[in-house]
Amino acid sequence: MDFSLPLLRDAESAPGVEFREVDLAKLSQWSVDSGQWSVITMFATLHHIPSVEIRLDILKTVRKLLNKDGKFILSNWQFLNSEKLKSRIQPWDRVGLVDDDLDEGDYLLDWRSGGEGLRYAHQFSVEELLGLAEQAEMRVTDSFLSDGDGGNLGLYQIWQPL
pLDDT tens, 53-97?
A: 999 999 999 999 899 999 999 999 999 999 999 999 999 999 999
**Of the candidates 77, 79, 96, the residue with the CA atom closest to the CA atom of residue 157:** 77
Question: 74 and 159 in contact (C-beta within 8 Å)?
Answer: yes
Model confidence, pTM: 0.86
Least confident of 5-14, 57-66, 106-115, 141-150: 5-14
pLDDT confidence tier of residue 115, bands split at 50, 70 and 90: low
Best CA proximity match to 78, nearest among 146, 162, 160: 146
Please tell me the predicted confidence (pLDDT) of residue 109.
94
The closest alpha carbon to 43, from 146, 133, 156, belongs to 156
pLDDT band at 158 (very low <50, low <70, confident <90, very high): very high
Q: What is the CATH number of domain 32-79+123-161?
A: 3.40.50.150
Q: Where are the domains of the chain?
A: 32-79+123-161
CA distance 108 to 150: 23
